[in-house]
């Protein structure tokens, strides 16, 4: 396929013979989701090394550069193998805003998102979350879409409310008291 350049280093679709190119997943008014490259580690580390940001994410603690590098590798491998992962989310000036996308969960997929802390409170998680629900409905509408949210994370619970998730049950997830929610538009 021939790539179409949209932002520096960004092309649409998988481009044979250009392994250093990014894949565009979706765009919103303020955000762009793309696949990852190995050179993105330090950008993601700026998000994943912050204790408050990581409180309800992964192991619940800030992560090292080695852990972040391994995660970027994992995201690249997942995307290549399945066509989805937690993608890189940037603003229209190509600055990292966070990461958001899907993992595998129960009989379906799980929505997840993390936004850089200095950008909280501007509707960005809601914007990318709503776009990802749309992406899921366009690509896998017959697959249930879930989300886990810690009972102590009201901001994320509110985001999930706003983008159409409904309470299923309370359960511990990775040892943390959580609510399991499902998107009302999926089975
Ligand atoms: C949770 C998170 C993604 C929210 O991102 P964000 O871009 O600030 O979210 P938005 O601005 O789109 O929406 C946040 C909503 O929560 C509300 N909110 C924020 N803090 C709140 C609180 N303590 N109690 C209740 N509601 C709260 C906001 O008012 C807003 O709702 P509104 O639009 O009705 O006013 C962000 O805080 C984050 O990245 N946290 C760390 C990672 C994380 O917890 N990820 C989710 C794992 S399930």
As to burial, measured by CB atoms within 10 angstroms (0-12 exposed, 13-18 middle, 19+ buried), residue 36 is buried
Give the other-Cβ count within 10 Å of 57's Cβ: 18
pTM summary value: 0.92
Beta bridge partners of residue 35, listed in sequence order:
none
Mutate to test the pocket of ligand 1, among 111, 117, 155, 159 (most ligand atoms within 8 A of CB): 155
Strands 31-34 and 165-173: unpaired
Pick the CATH number of 2-141 from 3.90.1150.10, 1.10.340.30, 3.40.630.30, 3.10.129.10: 3.40.630.30
Which atom of ligand 1 lies nearest, measured to the CA of 56?
44
What confidence tens digit (pLDDT) does each residue in 52-107 have? Answer: 999 999 999 999 999 999 999 999 999 999 999 999 999 999 999 999 999 999 99
Structure tokens at 131: 């776009």
pLDDT (tens digit per residue) in 157-168:
999 999 999 999
21 CB-contact burial (10 Å; exposed 0-12 / middle 13-18 / buried 19+): buried
Which atom of ligand 1 is nearest the CA belonging to 98? 39
Question: Which atom of ligand 1 lies at the shortest distance from residue 114's CA?
Answer: 39
- Measured at the alpha carbon of residue 57, what is the angle toward residues 54 and 60, in degrees to the nearest 5? 65
Extents of the domains making up the chain: 2-141
How many other C-beta atoms are found inside a 10 Å radius of the C-beta of residue 62?
17
């Amino acid at each position: 396929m021939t790539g179409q350049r949209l932002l520096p280093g960004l092309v649409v679709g998988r481009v044979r013979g250009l392994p250093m190119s990014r894949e565009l997943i979706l765009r919103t008014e303020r955000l762009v989701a793309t696949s990852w490259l190995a050179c993105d580690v330090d950008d993601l580390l700026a998000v994943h090394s912050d204790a408050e940001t990581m409180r309800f994410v992964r192991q619940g603690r800030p992560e090292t550069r080695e852990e972040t590098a391994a995660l970027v590798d994992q995201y690249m491998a997942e995307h290549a193998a399945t066509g989805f992962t937690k993608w890189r989310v940037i603003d229209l000036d190509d600055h990292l805003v966070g990461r958001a996308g899907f993992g595998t969960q129960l009989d379906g997929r799980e929505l997840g998102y993390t936004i850089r802390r200095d950008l909280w409170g501007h509707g960005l998680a809601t914007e990318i979350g709503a776009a990802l629900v749309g992406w899921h409905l366009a690509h896998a509408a017959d697959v249930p879409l879930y989300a886990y949210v810690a009972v102590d994370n009201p901001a994320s619970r509110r985001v999930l409310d706003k983008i159409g998730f409904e309470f299923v049950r309370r359960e511990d997830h990775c040892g943390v008291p959580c609510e399991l929610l499902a998107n009302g538009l999926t089975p």
